DNA sequence: GTCGTCTTGCTAAATTAATGGCAAGTTATG
DNA sequence: CATAACTTGCCATTAATTTAGCAAGACGAC
């Protein structure tokens, strides 16, 4: 498992492209591609779908990699242990269940 | 597993306090306590430690509940499946490992 | 009805985060 | 050294998120 930036770099190199070439596809200049690969800047979310197409990967997987990096940043900002992610998963499931129940109640 | 807001509400009710009473301890007015319990507002992070003391709970656990809610919000904003949390956990571990290796390399 | 408790909506202000673009510097290679 | 590829720092602008505070409404108990 790598960061989103490293993932991008790997895929780019697999295809034998420079940051400049690769960026051009998504309208990103080279210096920004560098920042993105090194985690100093975010890949533009609006281009994630196009990115998935280009890499011939499942959009959801690409998006997960992207969003995961944002979550990791947040967790580190608050100096949380990695437990926080499974707590979050439980919470998310709990909320979804709750929403289902409420939706059912409406009928 | 409940949301942070529900957790707060449960603890408050266990102690037989109103939102007004409970809020006063942390300098939060009643209407804000309501919003916090219902997830429309964030509990002030600077008070998390005090909260843990008051509830006689481990600070890290309270913080995890708090931060998890933030992560869940982000994940939902991007309409991610719950897989994203385990991806994030892997990424986080990966980054920590990488940092260790780099730290070692310095010497 | 009225009191206490709680919920919600709204908006302006403030805080925080993200972005774009340029400039300077590194590294590897011929 | 010259070039291509890449990295980083800085800063002004913009965008996004949070917050505070007030007002009004809901709900149950008495």
What's the pLDDT score for residue A97? 86
Q: Is residue B21 part of a domain?
A: yes
Q: Is residue B107 part of a domain?
A: no
Summarize pLDDT for B17-26 with one digit per residue, the tens: 999 999 999 9
A interface with B, Cβ–Cβ below 8 Å: 1-4, 45, 60, 63-72, 74-76, 78, 80-95
Q: Is residue A29 part of a domain?
A: yes
For residue B40, give the nearest of B10, B18, B73 by alpha carbon: B73
What's the pLDDT score for residue A101? 66
User: Is-contact A61 B81, C-beta < 8 A?
Assistant: no
User: Is-contact B86 A85, C-beta < 8 A?
Assistant: yes
What's the pLDDT score for residue B19? 93
Cβ-in-10-Å burial (0-12, 13-18, 19+) of A34 comes to: middle
3-state secondary structure of B1: coil
B88: which chain A residues are within 8 Å (Cβ-Cβ)? 67-69, 71-72, 75, 85
CB of B10 lies under 7 Å from some atom of strand C? no
Residue B40 CA to residue B25 CA, distance in Å, equals: 20
User: Distance from residue A51 (CA) to nucleotide D14 (C1'), in Å?
Assistant: 25
CB atoms within 10 A of CB B2: 15
Cβ–Cβ below 8 Å for B3 and A70: no
Q: What percent of chain A has pLDDT over 90?
A: 82
Angle, CA of B58, B59 and B65, to the nearest 5°: 95
For residue B39, give the nearest of B76, B78, B89 by alpha carbon: B76
What's the pLDDT score for residue B97? 86
What's the pLDDT score for residue B101? 66
Residue B35 CA to residue B43 CA, distance in Å, equals: 9
Structure tokens at A64: 């997960």
Over chain A, what is the mean pLDDT?
90
**Mean pLDDT, rounded, for A58-74:** 94
User: For strand D, which residues in window 18-57 of chain A come within 7 Å by CB?
Assistant: 18-20, 30-31, 33-35, 37-38, 40
What's the pLDDT score for residue A91? 93
Residue range of the domain that includes B40: 4-80
Greatest mean pLDDT among A45-49, A82-86, B101-105: A82-86
Residue A103, pLDDT above cutoff 70: no
What's the pLDDT score for residue B106? 44
Q: Is residue B27 part of a domain?
A: yes
Q: Quote the number of domains for chain B.
A: 1
> What is the radius of gyration, based on Cα positions, of chain B?
17
Summarize pLDDT for B38-52 with one digit per residue, the tens: 999 999 999 999 999
Q: Is residue B100 part of a domain?
A: no
**H-only helix segments in chain A:** 4-14, 19-26, 30-37, 48-55, 59-77, 83-105
What's the pLDDT score for residue B103? 60
Q: Is residue A26 part of a domain?
A: yes
Nearest Cα of chain A lies from the Cα of B106 at a distance, in angstroms, of 20
CB of A10 lies under 7 Å from some atom of strand D? no
What's the pLDDT score for residue A107? 43
Residue A95, pLDDT above cutoff 50: yes
ipTM confidence score: 0.88
Residue B104, pLDDT above cutoff 60: no
**Mean pLDDT, rounded, for A57-64:** 95
Which of A11-15, A41-45, B95-99 shows the lowest mean pLDDT across its residues?
B95-99
| CATH number assigned to the domain comprising residue B22 | 1.10.260.40
Q: Is residue A102 part of a domain?
A: no
Residue B66 CA to residue B60 CA, distance in Å, equals: 10
What's the pLDDT score for residue A79? 92
Q: Is residue A15 part of a domain?
A: yes
């Amino acid at each position: 498992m790598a960061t989103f930036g490293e993932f991008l770099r790997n895929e780019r190199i697999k295809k034998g492209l420079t940051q400049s070439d690769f960026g051009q596809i998504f309208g990103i200049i080279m210096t920004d591609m560098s920042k993105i690969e090194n985690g100093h800047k975010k890949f533009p979310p609006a281009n994630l779908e196009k990115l998935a197409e280009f890499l011939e990967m499942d959009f959801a997987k690409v998006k997960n990699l992207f969003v995961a990096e944002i979550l990791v940043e947040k967790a580190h900002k608050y100096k949380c242990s990695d437990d926080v992610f499974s707590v979050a998963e439980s919470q998310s499931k709990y909320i979804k269940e709750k929403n289902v129940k409420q939706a059912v109640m409406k009928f």
